[in-house]
Amino acid sequence: MKSERLKITENRQITADIYKMCLLGAEKPLPGNFLELTIPGCFLGRPFGVAGYADGITEIYYRVVGEGTMKMTGMKEGEEVDALTGLGNSFDTNGVKKPLIVSGGLGFAPLKFLAESFVEKGITPLFVAGFKSRSDIVEFLKESGFSPVITTDDGTAGFHGSAVDYIKEKVPEFDRYYACGPMPMLKGMAAAFKGGQLSLEARMGCGFGACMGCSIMTTAGAKRVCKEGPVFSSEEVIFGD
Amino acid sequence: MDNPVIPASGTFGFGYEFNNWFDISVLGSIALKGTTIEARYGNPLPRIAECPAGMINAIGLQNPGAVAVRDIELKKLAAVYPKKVIANVGGHSFGEYVETSAILSAAEEVFAIELNVSCPNVKGGGMAFGLDAGVLEELTAAVKEASSKPVIVKLSPNVTDITVLAKAAERGGADGLSLINTLVGMRIDLRTAKPIISVKRGGYSGPGVFPVAVNAVYNTREAVSLPIVGMGGIMNAENVIEMMYAGADCVMVGTLNLIDPCGSKKIIEDLPGVMERLGIDKLTDIVGRAHR
Ligand SMILES: Cc1cc2nc3c(=O)[nH]c(=O)nc-3n(C[C@H](O)[C@H](O)[C@H](O)COP(=O)(O)OP(=O)(O)OC[C@H]3O[C@@H](n4cnc5c(N)ncnc54)[C@H](O)[C@@H]3O)c2cc1C
Ligand SMILES: Cc1cc2nc3c(=O)[nH]c(=O)nc-3n(C[C@H](O)[C@H](O)[C@H](O)COP(=O)(O)O)c2cc1C
Ligand code: FES
């Protein structure tokens, strides 16, 4: 956890509503960590999962959904932003030899960083990335030297169905899975498969454990998404409706 | 206290985690997260909604319960913070307030009880005790009786005239007052047309409430002679001075801690410079200066 001033080195539109931003100057995060960006004119920080890190540059992908992310699209290369970095816990990769990685939509962001850390260790994970439609696909792993299995809800590219549908149908072998995406998808994964790690989201007041604004219920009591999470075991999360 | 800046209840957890951000021993004291007799999960998510100059929260007093606070949280804090702290007590009934206050006031790390009768986020309790003068007087007296340490009553701004409640707390035997707690507020999601907060309403805090807080402290200073802890929207050292001019003997800083974990420390560092610029020698000289 650190408070740092970062310099924007890239801020580029990738699909109709998704942008990639690169920020120079943060200490090396762990896969699973997130950061909070201070957007001028917005009172609260905006949390984003770290999607990659190399040469001091942190990579994030963001979807334009509201005021803050809209303002982010107008930020220029060379501009500086304040950020709280290295927030949250990280994925547990200890002893994992056959990782399965499953994303829905922008959920690929923290998982991309995780996949790259596996590749660094000489392990090639199976990465199944689900998108709504062909035009929503982000080719996020191009540089990492291996390609994910793509699925689309409407069948316009890759496997026809969600990433979870794909796994239920193909039943690939794995010793641990990692998932990030919309709540219904995570709930579906947790119900179908044991032994997973889920990365969750919640509206946050602080992002570093002070306000209890993000607490979810788990089998071991209340836990903060920003502090004990965002990565939880698929067995501990108690899903609401 | 060696300086008048105290992180406000609910915005600083149980304190020790902030030691990762800065050396918390610079703080005058710390107000702990609101504590109830039993452990509470609090409200469903979402509990937070952003506002142009602040935020709305509806945490619902999530806490591990009075005994766990005494035996675990206070010990963890004592390991990194040598000074005495303020325990913040919430409840649903006279009995709960009294029992929790008795447990926490007995802890050696605690030097005062802050009675939260103004939390808008707990159904059928909390704020209800802070809106009726008769009830508040009785509750204050009951907690005073049970507590072995001074009792500070934390007042709600969600009333027509805060001085009526201030006087009631004084009659009940309060040793001090703290104000203000959050203002009841709501935000509605433009996309879904539904309130953002799961329980619809929450407490509004942050710089947007600062003028409301200054007015409340000013009016209360005129109405009672008890020591006053001023809070609500304090974002910088200038705000601290203004709050003390209005009549606060010391201040609490809340929401700022959430958007800048080092915010309270920065205020403490900035105070001497601001005092010098304004020709202030001692902070104790300026308490209530706006009334003279
Ligand atoms: C741990 C974590 C990791 C995330 N990673 C990513 C990521 O990699 N890419 C990405 O595009 N988005 C990510 N999000 C969601 C992202 O934080 C929100 O989309 C963003 O804050 C919306 O801001 P806004 O101002 O555009 O929207 P507004 O609706 O105008 O925001 C208003 C308030 O609500 C909050 N908010 C709104 N939607 C969300 C949401 N879905 N989750 C949390 N807070 C929200 C905002 O932070 C802000 O405080 C992540 C969220 C969390 C908690
Ligand atoms: C997230 C959050 C949680 C809070 N929890 C409590 C609490 O448990 N007990 C209490 O007395 N006040 C609580 N408060 C109110 C603050 O202590 C303070 O009175 C209020 O926020 C106004 O000050 P500020 O504008 O500086 O935040 C909480 C405020 C926030 C923002
Ligand atoms: S967002 Fe404040 S505790 Fe998680």
Is residue B255 scored above 80 in pLDDT?
A: yes
Ligand 3 binding site (Cβ under 6 Å of any ligand atom): A 204-207, 209-214, 224, 226
Cα separation, B263 vs A206, in Å, equals: 12
Query: How many domains, chain B?
Result: 1
Where residue B61 sits, what CATH number does that domain have?
A: 3.20.20.70
Q: For residues B121 and B203, is the Cβ–Cβ distance under 8 A?
A: yes
Q: What percent of chain A has pLDDT over 70?
A: 98
Domain spanning A99-233 has what CATH number?
Answer: 3.40.50.80
pLDDT given at position A150: 94
CA–centroid distance for B215 within its chain: 17
Residue A55: which residues within 8 A CB-CB, separation 6 or more? none
Centre of ligand 2 to C-alpha A89, Å, is 26
Centre of ligand 2 to C-alpha B11, Å, is 6
Chain B: closest CA distance from residue A44 (Å): 6
Q: A47: closest CA among A237, A214, A228? A: A214
Looking at the domain assignment, is residue B52 inside a domain?
Answer: no
Q: Which residues in chain A are contacts of B20 at CB distance < 8 A?
A: 1
Cα separation, A179 vs B80, in Å, equals: 37
Looking at the domain assignment, is residue B67 inside a domain?
Answer: yes
Cα separation, A69 vs A18, in Å, equals: 10
For the residues A47-66, what does the mean pLDDT come to? 96
Cα separation, B126 vs A65, in Å, equals: 36
Cα separation, B25 vs B80, in Å, equals: 8
Chain B interface mutation, best of A4, A200, A211, highest count of B Cβ atoms under 10 Å: A211
- Give the model confidence (pLDDT) of B139-154 as tens digits: 999 999 999 999 999 9
The answer to whether A1 contacts B21, with C-beta atoms less than 8 Å apart, is yes
Centre of ligand 1 to C-alpha B80, Å, is 33
Active site residue B262: no
Q: Where are the domains of chain A?
A: 2-87, 99-233
Q: For residues B255 and B205, is the Cβ–Cβ distance under 8 A?
A: yes
Cα separation, A215 vs B171, in Å, equals: 39
> Is-cis flag, bond preceding B46, omega within 30?
yes
**Residue B246 structural domain:** 5-44+57-183+205-291
Q: Which residues in chain B are contacts of A84 at CB distance < 8 A?
A: 261
Q: How many CB pairs under 8 A join A and B?
A: 89
Cα separation, B5 vs A72, in Å, equals: 34
Block residue for tokens 């699909």: A15
Residues found in chain A: 241
Residue A74: which residues within 8 A CB-CB, separation 6 or more? none
Cα separation, A161 vs B232, in Å, equals: 51
For the residues A166-184, what does the mean pLDDT come to? 94
pLDDT class of B118 with cuts at 50, 70, 90: confident
**Closest C-alpha residue for ligand 2 atom 10:** B9
Ligand minimally distant from the alpha carbon of residue A198: 1
Looking at the domain assignment, is residue B91 inside a domain?
Answer: yes
Looking at the domain assignment, is residue B191 inside a domain?
Answer: no
Q: What is the pTM assigned to this prediction?
A: 0.96
CA atoms within 13 A of residue B246's CA, in its CB half-sphere: 26
Q: Which amino acid is at B4?
A: P
pLDDT class of B1 with cuts at 50, 70, 90: low
- Give the model confidence (pLDDT) of A187-209 as tens digits: 999 999 999 999 999 999 999 99
Looking at the domain assignment, is residue B188 inside a domain?
Answer: no
Looking at the domain assignment, is residue B50 inside a domain?
Answer: no
Run of H or E including A223? strand A221-224
Looking at the domain assignment, is residue B117 inside a domain?
Answer: yes
Ligand 1 binding site (Cβ under 6 Å of any ligand atom): A 34, 44, 46-49, 60-63, 65-69, 106, 109, 201-204, 230; B 50
Domain spanning A2-87 has what CATH number?
Answer: 2.40.30.10
